[in-house]
Amino acid sequence: MGLKTRRHETRGWLKNTLQHERLLADDKDSVWTRVMSDYRCQLSAVDGMREVMGDTFVDPRDHAGVVGADSGGKFVSKKKESQRNIPKNPYTLPYLLHAYDVSRTTFQRYRKMGDTTHHTKAKRKGNKNIGLNVIDNHNFAKQRFTARFFFVQDACRTRVTPEGVGGQAMVAYWGEKFDKMQWDKEGEDIEKWERMVREHLAQQPFIKEALVEALESNCCRSYNNLHKVPPPTPLVHES
């Protein structure tokens, strides 16, 4: 079990997993929308347990620790020394912030706003895509998941990037490569990426149902199990 949860020691492990599986876009607004949604799920889960368990309810967010004999009455964690700064309780805010590698200060600012779309509107006046997401809106998914998108995602993971180029600069580097690519001369096959677009869009109408099923079937496990659930099989396959 220890080895299976070892990835939780890496800050941002959940964000990286979701982006690797193409379930989360690589931009700040999408990440914060997801963080706030998961935060509301945390609160709902605790409220649900409180309602069902009644007088026997014990808040799962309470610290598991002891009062140390030599600590002057202060709380002493039961964690091993090497694990002290790694949140382990999926019901707590520190766990959520660690999983997405986001700061508490920024989280507090978003929470005061009540909804991340308010922040988006202030930054991007006139953006017709405000409030849309790739799970519910097929046309928005077609705009986001293009041949260029899949090429860049693959290149960032598997191709050699010039030294010193990382993060968004890496995405921009491979995006420019795609735009200037002379496919036949360079021995590249654009059909491969266009085929991935067709396959992804064929699955898109079933993503929401698959996510709900994954959450229900893994409700007693850590977030780490969700990326293991296979994607839905599309009813229509274009070759």
Query: What is the spatial distance between Cα 138 and Cα 145, in angstroms, rounded to a whole number?
Result: 10
Regarding whether 54 and 141 lie in a shared domain, the answer is no
Assess whether 137 and 126 both reside in one domain. Answer: no
* Residue ending a domain, choose from 100, 131, 162: 131
Are the C-beta atoms of 148 and 179 separated by less than 8 Å?
A: yes
Look at residue 227 and tell me if it is in a domain.
no
Q: Compute CA distances 53 → 41, 47, 49, 56, 84, whole Å.
A: 18, 10, 6, 5, 30
Nearest alpha carbon to residue 49 among 61, 57, 38, 41: 57
Better-predicted residue by pLDDT, 74 or 223? 74
Asked if residue 70 has pLDDT above 50, the reply is: yes
More confident residue, 219 or 140: 140
Q: What is the pLDDT of residues 4-24, one digit of tens each?
A: 555 567 888 888 888 888 888
**Rounded average pLDDT over 42-62:** 83
For residues 163 and 52, membership in a common domain is answered with no
- Gap between the Cα atoms of 88 and 168, Å rounded: 30
Residue 218 lies in a domain: no
Does 225 map to a domain? no
What is the dihedral angle through the alpha carbons of 125, 12, 65, 49, rounded to the nearest 10 degrees? 60
Average pLDDT over residues 121-125: 39
In this structure, are 109 and 179 located in the same domain? no
Same domain, residue pair 115 and 9: yes
Q: Residue 164 has what pLDDT? A: 81
Q: Which helix (H) or strand (E) holds 170?
A: helix 168-180
* Mean pLDDT computed over 52-60: 83
Range of the domain at 173: 132-207
Q: Is 183 found in the same domain as 148?
A: yes
* Same domain as 107, residue 13: yes
Together in a domain, 155 and 112? no
In a domain, 187, yes or no: yes
67 is a domain residue: no
Select the more confidently predicted residue: 192 or 140: 192
Residue at 213 is within a domain: no
pLDDT at site 143:
82
Q: Give pLDDT, residue 40.
A: 87
Question: Considering Cα of 77, then 39, then 115, then 34, what sign does the dihedral take?
Answer: positive
Statement to judge: residues 114 and 1 lie in one domain: yes
Q: Count the domains in the chain.
A: 2
What is the per-residue pLDDT for 177? 87
Nearest to 145 by CA among 65, 26, 37: 26
Residue 214 lies in a domain: no
C-alpha dihedral (139, 119, 102, 61), degrees to nearest 10: -100
Both 30 and 146 in a single domain? no
Listed in sequence order, the residues at least 6 apart from 124 whose beta carbon sits closer than 8 Å to its beta carbon are 130
In tens, the pLDDT along 109-121 reads 887 775 444 333 3
Query: 35 or 64, which is more confident?
Result: 35
The confidence score (pLDDT) of residue 236 equals 45
Give residue-wise pLDDT tens across range 144-188. 888 899 998 898 889 888 888 877 788 888 888 888 888 888 888
Task: Let me know whether 40 and 98 are in one domain.
Answer: yes
Assess if residue 77 is contained within a domain: no
44 and 107 both lie in a single domain: yes
**Comparison of pLDDT for 123 and 180, the residue scoring more:** 180
